[in-house]
């Protein structure tokens, strides 16, 4: 692989690491935020759906950063589906 491509790939991987860390921080903030919905039955269902969606299953393969981004997307979609369904 030419040096320019190696440098570009390295830079992109560092950006992915930074973006992933930022996303994980935002999800942690959402963990704290979701607790405010504890006052109603619907809110309690929302919290339980959020907790279930946050369970991370290690599939044993893939690059950690790509997997992390997909996990975050899965969490968001599962919570939305659980609340709408």
Is 80 exceeded by the pLDDT of residue 73? no
Q: Are 17 and 64 in contact (CB under 8 A)?
A: no
pLDDT band at 8 (very low <50, low <70, confident <90, very high): confident
Instruction: Give the residue numbers spanning the domain of 33.
Output: 3-84
Average pLDDT, the chain: 76
Rg (CA), the chain: 17
Count of the separate structural domains present in the chain: 1
pTM here is 0.51
CA–CA separation, 4 vs 82, rounded Å?
A: 46
Q: What b/e string do you get for 34-54 counting C-beta neighbours within 10 Å, with b at 16 or more?
A: beeeeeeeeeeebbebbeebb
CA–CA separation, 40 vs 42, rounded Å?
A: 5
């Amino acid at each position: 692989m030419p040096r320019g491509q190696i440098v570009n790939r390295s830079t992109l991987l560092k950006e992915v690491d930074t973006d992933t860390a930022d996303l994980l921080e935002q999800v942690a903030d959402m963990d704290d935020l979701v607790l405010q919905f504890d006052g109603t039955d619907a809110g309690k269902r929302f919290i339980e759906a959020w907790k279930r969606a946050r369970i991370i299953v290690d599939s044993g393969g893939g690059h950690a950063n790509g997997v992390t981004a997909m996990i975050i997307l899965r969490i968001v979609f599962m919570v939305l589906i659980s609340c709408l369904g």
